[in-house]
Structure 1
Amino acid sequence: MSTDHALPHSTDLERDARAVSRDHKVDPSEIAMGVIIGRTSEFFDFFVFGIASVLVFPKVFFPFVEPLTGTLYAFALFSLAFVARPIGSAIFMEIDRRHGRGVKLTIALFLLGGSTAAVSFLPGYATLGAVSIWLLAAFRFSQGLALGGAWDGLASLLSMNAPENRRGWYAMIPQLGAPIGFMLASALFSFFLVNLTQEDFYDFGWRYPFYVAFAINVVALFARLRLVATDEFANLLKTRELQPVPVFSVLRTHTRDILIGAFVPLGSYALFHLVTIFPISWITLFTQRSAGEFLMVQFAGAIIAAGAMVSSGLIADQIGRRTMLAISAGLVALFALGSTLAPLLFGDSAAGQTIYVVVGFGLLGLSYGQTAGAVASNFGTHYRYTGSALTSDLAWLIGAGFAPLVALSVSSEFGLAWVGVYLLSGAICTLAALGYNKLENSRA
């Protein structure tokens, strides 16, 4: 079966990618690079919006309320993308079934990059009034729809091409896009914060990271299409390993597996925004520390997270992925208990804030490194592609979508110790889901 017949509804970019890939055997290292580039572009777009939700949007779009309320409003908009993501998956799965994966990815990544870049041209509340807020919400919702459509199956392709004794290592590789995306976003914002006056930053400086998003997404699109256009990918489509199916069909047969899969990474996903977006809001609102300087501390933390992710792959290949997930969840639970001392450590102490970030990013790397497709084997081959996408969407919605909003709300009202309680609940859910999944598999 030729690739041309496998993907008949191709975009011009896909045809160009196929021309480059024709008669070329793609090995796992090339798949890994394409996956990392793709994930980096997605996380960059999301982190740019998340950081701006703290540093920019309260002043530019919510100047009519005090800073804390404006930040909470911005975090509510931040959550919209996670609500939209499963809707996007349902819509784009249909596009995939009808027109092919290349068309789906092209639309999704142009929508993702375009929605992010559009924010950079959006006038603030002083110019458009409430219309600016509605437009910002629409662009954020579009980001979520696009991310649902960006699910490409390349991580599954990578896993299927991985040696049996290296599955943990190759499962870790797609996750590296998260710290790399955060490093790019935090470095850009830090640069403009440090080198521009406050007036210039709020006038035009904050818009540059949003400009960059479109270019990054175009590069990511071609990197992914080059792999989607290969014979290996077409053969997996032919054997139904990566075949999209109607969403309701998956829900009818695998609702329980989707729920279990969504709760397995909950501790890691809750920690995800509690060491990235939430700390910036606390530093900005309740301390005198420079946001630009703190972003560089987080940049260093992201490097540690990447190193911890690499370690998670090596360890998982020795002890098993699910065992690694359970150990990581236990460590996150201990970190959450320790975070109940946050008023002593994280308040106005720069050293305490740095320790929180460094340790938190390290644990994030260990736990997040093995969350991808942890229970994908629960799905039959026919349902695995769509089932994994829906599981990921639900996990992000429950675990991460509202984390900054909840954390800032409870900490501002009741104190920082409650952030630890919130994180602890996520770690307990992870351990409970892993235990339940093991019990169910033993009965099967």
Structure 2
Amino acid sequence: MSSPASATYPAAGFEESPASLSRADTHEDVTPSEIAVGVIIGRSSEYFDFFVFGIACVLVFPSFLFPFLSRLDGTLMGFALLAVAFVVRPVGTAISMAIQRRWGRGTKLTVALFLLGVCTVGMAFLPGYKDVGLTAVVALLILRVGQGLALGGSWDGLPSLLAMSAPKERRGWYAMIGQLGAPLGFVLAASLFAYLYSSLSVQEFLAWGWRYPFFVAFAVNVVALFARLRLVVGQSYSELLKDRELQPVPVSRVMRDEGSNVLLGAFAALASFALFHLVTVFPLSWITLYSEQPVTQILGVQIVGAFLAAGAIMVSGWLSDHLGRRKLLGGMAVLIGVFSFMAPVLLNSGEVGSTMFLLLGFVLLGLSYGQASGTVTANFSPQYRYTGAALSADLAWIIGAAFAPLVALYLSAQFGLLAVTVYLLSGVACTLGALNLNRRMERRDR
């Protein structure tokens, strides 16, 4: 896909300023529920793109593009391509912010989603290694770079607007709405692949069956484009975004003046981002490589897990409003740390163990990821919040998620599944450290 790329952008911080709250409902024709529809459509389409590519890295690309390598090495090469979009995404963010300052938010979003759609459908027509050799790999690399640039430009500010327009006592509930795009996108992508994989022979699936999800991704992007444009180019929404100071500023200025807040925002949610790929893409690769469990069965369990994650995301909204986002994120980081010690045992315990790993992992992902957006964005000055939120998310994806399946699979194949424990614990340490630092900064500034 695409990365999830757009997927998780910080929405609002732990506390909003009185000035912000006083402006909360000045546009009567703009309702939080209406914004929520646009947020869910936009995030779901982007996550669907992402998971289509991620699943193809396991089921398609090793045989289609890297038949000259072992199954393990071919999967690792696929995961390297997966990471490319995350690496170039900040560049896309910088370019898109410049486009928006010059031509407006609607133009920026149209360019970004058009590029995303073209690159995604281009993958559907990709020739294999047997047809054009390494040219096929280079072509996929170029298309993946295009996806990353497009994802950097897909930030529309709607999640931030949603959280800032929500009632004060329900900010956590509204902040989690955009995160529902992750499980929804996964369910659709995994269901498509499971259906095609079970309905076709392996030869048919590798020859042409795998291309259909990429065509569907293109169609979904078209629908998402019109749904989001309807919101962001409307006069009421434009005025409200401007009123909330959700406007782009040069990336260089944000990094110069508030780069520390960008870093803090990225590290505060790292435990959740580290877990993201380790319960979705990584286990699909590990179980298919080192067990006899059918692919459709693995995907079926993951689909159930994604539904559980969706429920857990909604629970996270309720918990955040009652406990506070920072306490919830800190508590979930500790639970992810506990889960990391269970991971090697469960993944080495056959079908029952792998099923427990997936279901527990998805529940933890939902509870933590539901509030991973907007962890410390209140630290940004108002004029920097729009761009700073996007950059924090870009950096969190790079550090926490981009290389997770590649690193976890390689190290696990070499040294055992203890590598998964170490990777998750590193994310937990970063989250707890960043949240503690943020708490000290708030006390110092009082």
Q: Which category of TM-score, normalised to the shorter sequence, fits these structures?
A: over 0.9
Stretches of 4+ aligned residues off by more than 4 angstroms = none
- Please tell me the root mean square deviation across aligned C-alpha atoms, in Å: 1.2
Deviation readout 1:393-439 (Å, 9 max, x if unpaired): 00001000000000001100000122111111101110110001111
Residue in 2 that maps onto 1:282:
286
Question: 2:135, 2:170 → 1: CA distance?
Answer: 51
**Structure 1 residue 67: Cα displacement:** 0.6
Question: 2:131, 2:403 → 1: CA distance?
Answer: 29
Question: 1:237, 1:431 → 2: CA distance?
Answer: 32
Question: 1:323, 1:411 → 2: CA distance?
Answer: 32
Question: 1:353, 1:427 → 2: CA distance?
Answer: 22
Retained in 2: the 8 A contact 1:270–1:400? yes
Question: 2:34, 2:410 → 1: CA distance?
Answer: 43
Is the counterpart of residue 83 in structure 1 residue 87 in structure 2?
Answer: yes
Deviation readout 1:214-266 (Å, 9 max, x if unpaired): 11011111111111123332223443611100000101111110111010111
Question: 1:33, 1:200 → 2: CA distance?
Answer: 37
Retained in 2: the 8 A contact 1:287–1:348? no
Structure 2 residue aligned with 1:92, among 69, 80, 96? 96
Residue in 2 that maps onto 1:147:
151
Question: 1:378, 1:57 → 2: CA distance?
Answer: 42
Change (3 A) 1:237 1:34: closer
Is the counterpart of residue 312 in structure 1 residue 316 in structure 2?
Answer: yes
Retained in 1: the 8 A contact 2:105–2:233? no
- The alignment-based identity, stated in percent, is 57
Counterpart of 1:427 in structure 2: which amino acid?
A: V
Is the counterpart of residue 206 in structure 1 residue 210 in structure 2?
Answer: yes
Residue in 1 that maps onto 2:340:
336
Residue in 2 that maps onto 1:5:
none
Residue in 2 that maps onto 1:7:
none
Structure 2 residue aligned with 1:327, among 319, 325, 331? 331
Question: 1:239, 1:199 → 2: CA distance?
Answer: 56
Unmatched 5+ stretches in structure 1: 1-22
Question: 1:238, 1:74 → 2: CA distance?
Answer: 41
SS of residue paired to 1:122:
coil
**Structure 1 residue 194: Cα displacement:** 0.7
Question: 1:157, 1:237 → 2: CA distance?
Answer: 7
Residue in 2 that maps onto 1:14:
none
Question: 1:254, 1:407 → 2: CA distance?
Answer: 32
SS of residue paired to 2:196:
helix
Unmatched 5+ stretches in structure 2: 1-26
Deviation readout 1:45-88 (Å, 9 max, x if unpaired): 01000000010000000001111111111111110000011010
Residue in 2 that maps onto 1:440:
441
SS of residue paired to 1:204:
helix
**Structure 1 residue 111: Cα displacement:** 1.1
Retained in 1: the 8 A contact 2:161–2:244? no
**Structure 1 residue 146: Cα displacement:** 0.6
Residue in 2 that maps onto 1:411:
412
Is the counterpart of residue 251 in structure 1 residue 255 in structure 2?
Answer: yes
Question: 1:251, 1:296 → 2: CA distance?
Answer: 43
Question: 1:160, 1:437 → 2: CA distance?
Answer: 20
TM-score by length of 2: 0.92
Deviation readout 1:152-207 (Å, 9 max, x if unpaired): 00001101210000000000000000000000000000001111011100011000
Retained in 1: the 8 A contact 2:309–2:367? yes
Deviation readout 1:267-303 (Å, 9 max, x if unpaired): 0001000000000101111111111211011000000
TM-score by length of 1: 0.93
Question: 2:196, 2:106 → 1: CA distance?
Answer: 36
Question: 2:57, 2:32 → 1: CA distance?
Answer: 37
Counterpart of 2:379 in structure 1: which amino acid?
A: N
Question: 2:287, 2:341 → 1: CA distance?
Answer: 21
